Amino acid sequence: MQDTKTTITSISDFEKEVSQGLTDNPKHLSSMYFYDKKGDKLFQDIMAMPTYYLTDSEYEILENNKEEISNLFTGFESFDLIELGAGDGKKTKILLKEFSDQKIDFTYVPIDISDNALNQLQQSIEIELPDVQVQPFQGTYFEALKEINSRENRKIILFLGSNIGNLEHEQAVVFMNKIQQLMQPEDLLFMGFDQKKNPQTILDAYNDKEGVTAAFNKNVLARINTELNANFDLKQFLHWEVYNPETGTAKSYLVSKIEQTVHIKNLELTVGFKQWETIHTEISQKYDDEIITWLAKESGLKMTTSYESTAYGYKNCVFKKA
């Protein structure tokens, strides 16, 4: 789980991926399905927790460097500030206020899979920053790429919260390369990367004692129950987090506590679980400088500058076309 997110665009996509994921061996479901109104609230609760250091780290970077970042982004008559996985926009509002105070001509384009999150974000900006032009777009990351391509102004693309970590390295290269292909020479990509660190710090971030992350992980099953008329017993599944410090890969699982059978009426599907069988739900990749440099090179990008938090190893990196 990162600080930003993706999910479904239509119930048919949901049906297809649930059917495939729960009949594959091993079973898997995408973290993009964590997010509905309840999931959005749970994620906001997670971001407010002291053990979830990612939000505070990036907030610190943006707050301490907002003037320099503003100077980096400006210099043209106008630009579009396009944010992938905008969520509640808490951190981005630091930049929005800075731009607004400086009377900079820009349009904010928050992109998120959750209509609920976008509506709340737009309403809050209209109240807090009424001079900011907002053009929200609901969709997945790959639909967002089409939206990016359709815009004619200079583009500053934000991808915060180390959300790139939801993709394995090869997938990240493909995604970043697609963004690069849509960028003009003056466009910038501003991306967050959570760094490798004490393994216990990482495990604590994704396995809080209060059980909020567990509820967030299980929300994918709750959505299947509600939207696809299934009978998952959430109490019979265990949230489990593992971290490999060698590869920098954190993974989230749901583990069946008992042998059980689940019926998904809308799919006419019966799914059997052995005791302790897993459903892989999420990857949260951590990075070092070598990996970030490699990702950029393979994607046709060049890093121009970076900002690092003081308390935890977390970086925001700025890229342009190589």
pLDDT at 175: 93
pLDDT in tens, 197-241: 999 999 999 999 999 999 999 999 999 999 999 999 999 999 999
pLDDT band per the 50, 70, 90 thresholds, residue 192: very high
Tell me: pLDDT of 169 over 90.
yes
Mean pLDDT of 153-163: 92
- Length in residues, the chain: 322
pLDDT in tens, 42-95: 998 998 999 999 999 999 999 999 999 999 888 767 899 999 988 888 899 999
Helix (H, G, I), strand (E, B) or coil at 314: strand
Contact 163, 192 (CB under 8 A): yes
pLDDT band per the 50, 70, 90 thresholds, residue 318: very high
Mean pLDDT of 20-47: 92
Q: Between 215 and 113, name the one with better pLDDT.
A: 215
Question: Which residues make up the CATH 3.40.50.150 domain(s) of the chain?
Answer: 53-197+287-321
Q: Long-range pairs for 255-263 at CB < 8 Å and ≥24 separation?
A: 255/279, 260/233, 260/236, 262/230, 262/231, 262/232, 263/230, 263/231
pLDDT in tens, 123-152: 999 999 999 999 999 888 778 777 777 788
pLDDT in tens, 231-281: 999 999 999 999 999 999 999 999 999 999 999 999 999 999 999 999 999
d(CA 291, CA 130): 40
Contact 45, 296 (CB under 8 A): no
pLDDT at 143: 80
Provide the CATH number for the domain formed by 53-197+287-321 in this structure.
Answer: 3.40.50.150
